[in-house]
Amino acid sequence: METIIYSTLQFNIMNIRYTTIIVNDMEESVNFYKEVFGFEVEKELNMPDKQIKFLTGENGSGVELIKEEDTEIGLNAIAVSVDDVEKAIEEIKSKIPTVEVQIVDVPNGKLGFVSDPNGVTIAISQK
């Protein structure tokens, strides 16, 4: 088995904004993050086939909980903030040419996406 060594990237990650977790019991999960970390529900989205709750802490970091039928439970995504999304994606692609990356336009600028070797999505936003 070949070991892959990644060199440190040069862009500055300002902070981890949130982590997305697929849950099987929304109420139990919300209570856990409220009681253990002091998070509060900031936003809720209820759709016929999906329920989403955004919880945040005092420092602005948070967790996005998603309950969706027939979806694997566990870590789904991590979101980080950087100075320059395009530069960060460019650098990631130059260091790891095989990685899948994507940049999309959003109302506040651009959002980048990269998948880690385990398939976890990392959302890269510009602060």
In a domain, 115, yes or no: yes
In a domain, 7, yes or no: no
pTM (whole model) above 0.75: no
Helices (H), the chain: 26-37, 85-95
Domain that holds residue 110: 13-126
For residue 16, what are the β-bridge partners?
Answer: 80
Q: Name the CA radius of gyration of the chain, rounded.
A: 16
Give the pLDDT score at 47. Answer: 92
Structure tokens at 125: 């936003």
In a domain, 57, yes or no: yes
Q: How many domains does the chain have?
A: 1
In a domain, 6, yes or no: no
Q: What CATH code is carried by the domain that includes residue 25?
A: 3.10.180.10
In a domain, 2, yes or no: no
* Closest to 46 (Cα-Cα) out of 62, 17, 32, 26: 26
What digits encode the pLDDT tens for the residues 9-58?
Answer: 566 666 788 899 999 999 999 999 998 888 999 999 999 999 999 999 88
In a domain, 4, yes or no: no
What digits encode the pLDDT tens for the residues 73-86?
Answer: 888 889 888 889 99
In a domain, 8, yes or no: no
In a domain, 5, yes or no: no
Strand, coil or helix: what is 22?
strand
